[in-house]
Copies of this chain bind each other. A is one copy, B any other.
């Protein structure tokens, strides 16, 4: 009933050896000088009965699974969802499968996931590293498993990585606000020291410094409790911030910020201008539209998979080969939330 066809069945039916079947199936017929006639018969019969080699056995034998482990921060965040989907698409076209998991930025969970992927014998890794996992990533590298970090990287480690020039992004956004006449620009970010967050902060402070304007930075602790994050932003805007514009360092901070601003009854951009680092469907849809620093998702995915597959297909001595590091530009998408309105009477 559950009898799957085995390579043995194919071979014995065709009166050839299993080696012949295996070689034909793996495209090594020519180099093993198997006659075209036999090769054709094998292919035809395999097609006919729908024989599929057992991947488990194949992997055990070859040591290759053709699976890439994709470790992202949060697969339900549209940014990661999109990049993951694109990576999956490109990988699929080139014969690789993806298995993915979310770390929720939790180092312990990240370590478990990496261990789990190693147990599953993934051929390579694409990782959005949470903080404090240098040791685990280092261990992967030492095993020579091809690996690419993206979105952020681990400064101490000589790894491949693909990141976005966040500093340039926030610099441009700050300049845009300055051009619009905003002078008191605040920056709301997370309490994490991840490289990409520091980059984003740096672009902002630099742009202000060049104009001798003061920076106002709020670091919000990101927890699972949405309400607390919203409250923190709410209180910052109400009590601390003396500002006419805010740049949020991630799309979800912006979303929380929108909620806080709605609670405070402030109008965008009349009372407060807004720019989000990282775009989101919602920002297009929101009234007014929210200006965003968009990341090149397609390009990120393409670079990650290219580097990974190159290493997978041409294993080089990693003690010699330099790692590849890619820095991609952002694009400012200007919507109404950052455009200064003509003076309106306060009602």
Contact = CB atoms under 8 A, between A and B. Distances in A.
A287 interface: yes
A78 interface: yes
A281 interface: yes
A131 interface: no
A76 B91 CA distance: 19
Contacts of A259: 285
A59 B121 CA distance: 13
Interface in A129-168: 142-144
A50 to B, nearest CB: 10
B255 A281 contact: yes
- Tally of this chain's copies: 2
Nearest to A226: B281
Nearest to A78: B76
A216 interface: no
A316 interface: no
A262 interface: yes
A57 B287 CA distance: 56
Contact of A52 (B119, B144, B285): B119
Nearest to A115: B52
Contacts of A115: 52
A184 to B, nearest CB: 25
Given A2-B144, A52-B119, 7 more contacts: A1-B142, A1-B143, A56-B60, A57-B60, A75-B75, A75-B81, A262-B287
